[in-house]
Each structure stands twice: as C-alpha cells, then as structure tokens.
Amino acid sequence: MEKNHMENEETELFEKVIAADLDPVRKTYEDCRFNSCSFSNASLSGLVFRSCVFENCDLSLAKLRESSLQDVRFIRCKLLGILFSECRKFLLHLSFEQCLIRLSTFNEMPLKGTIFEGCDLQEADFTSADLAGASFRECDLTRATFFRSNLEGADFRTAFGYSFAPESNRLKKARFSMPEVLGLLDGYGIDIE
C-alpha cells in the first residue's frame, strides 16, 4: 500500500480496499489510515488495530470477535449492527465522528471518556457499559438502550431522542439540557405541560 505524505512518515494508507485485499497473514495494523474502504460483512476477528483511523468506510455487520481496537478513530463511517462487545476490552480506546452506528452493541464495554460526535446511534445497546465521562455531542439516541450503565459525568447536553430509566443507571454528575432531559420521564406515564 502507498504511503500518504500528508500523514507522518510511518502512516500506511489503505484506500478503497475491500477485506479480501488485506494480507491474510497480517494480524496487526499500526498507524494505518483506511479511507473509503468496504469491510461490510467481513471478518476482522482477531486483528489488532492500533492508532488507526477509518474514514468514509463501511464496516456494517463486520465481525470483530477478539479484535483489539486501541486508539481507533472512526470518521464518517457506516457501522451498522456491529457487536463491539465482542472486541477485546484490554487497551480499548475508540472515538466516533459523524458515524452511522445504528443497531450496534456496546454491552459491558469499558468506554470511559469515549467521544461520540454527530453520530446516529439509534437502537444502539449500551447495557452495562461504563460510559463515565463519555460525550454524546449532537447524537441521535432514539431507542438506544441504557440499562445498568455507568453514565456518571457523561455529557448528553446536545444529544437528543434518548429515553431511559434514571433509577436503572448511574447518573451522578451526568449533564443534560432542556427539553431533551424530559425523555428521562417517559417511562412514568406523566403529562408535562
């Protein structure tokens, strides 16, 4: 693969590749940039991605069983139905910008301080995830599941569409704004005027 001279000298660029184009023997991708690649329905299981950026890529329904995602950024990616919960949790560090992440699962994931910015997280499942200090800037959380989740210090001020039971989550110092915070009262069957 060619080097991108806009990145540092060590960044390896993969542009418009599909999973079949990847070296079947290679198990670690470090300081790589994946641009406009299609890994939809691909098995990326067991691979290590360290200090990598995926931009304008389609990873919908990709298999990530035992994959290691260490300091990985997703920018304008399509990530539908991914079971992030199958990734290795050791050294896991992710960020998402303007991504379509509908129907993805983050159950029991250590996501402290994770940034979700401008993402569509409709029907994403965050059951028992540790999202302490996470930020959901301008994210659509319609029908997203938060249950037994650690949301302490999480920032929902510009998020919208969320509705979950406060008593089923840890919310100390979580930040919300009006009128979206009223979604926390949906399950109580009360009328607010």
Q: Say what the pLDDT of residue 179 is.
A: 84
CA dihedral (67, 106, 92, 121) positive or negative: positive
- Same-domain status, 179 and 115: yes
- Same-domain status, 172 and 110: yes
pLDDT in tens, 11-66: 899 999 998 888 888 999 999 999 999 999 999 999 999 999 999 999 999 999 99
Q: Say what the pLDDT of residue 20 is.
A: 86
Confidence of residue 161 (pLDDT cuts 50, 70, 90): very high
Confidence of residue 180 (pLDDT cuts 50, 70, 90): confident
Q: Say what the pLDDT of residue 38 is.
A: 96
Q: Is the confidence at residue 4, as pLDDT, over 60?
A: no
pLDDT in tens, 100-140: 999 999 999 999 999 999 999 999 999 999 999 999 999 99
- Same-domain status, 69 and 133: no
- Same-domain status, 193 and 123: yes
Q: Say what the pLDDT of residue 86 is.
A: 96
Q: Say what the pLDDT of residue 5 is.
A: 36
Q: Say what the pLDDT of residue 1 is.
A: 38
Question: Is residue 91 domain-resident?
Answer: no
Question: Is residue 6 domain-resident?
Answer: no
- Same-domain status, 54 and 122: no
* DSSP bridge partners of 66: none
Domain assignment of residue 168, given as a range: 106-193
Question: Is residue 5 domain-resident?
Answer: no
- Same-domain status, 157 and 111: yes
Question: Is residue 160 domain-resident?
Answer: yes
Q: Say what the pLDDT of residue 2 is.
A: 39
> What pTM was computed for the model?
0.89
Three-state SS at 78: strand
Ordered DSSP codes for 44-67: -TT-EEEEEEEES-B-TT-B-TT-
Question: Where do we find the tokens 């098995």?
Answer: 43
Q: Say what the pLDDT of residue 54 is.
A: 98
Q: Is the confidence at residue 3, as pLDDT, over 60?
A: no
Query: In sequence order, what E strands does the chain have?
Result: 12-15, 28-30, 32-35, 48-55, 68-75, 94-97, 115-117, 135-137
Looking up residue 28, the CATH number of its domain turns out to be 2.160.20.80
Question: Is residue 84 domain-resident?
Answer: no
Q: Which of 58, 78, 98 delimits the end of a domain? A: 78
Q: Which of 78, 97, 120 delimits the end of a domain? A: 78
Domain count, the chain: 2
- Same-domain status, 61 and 116: no
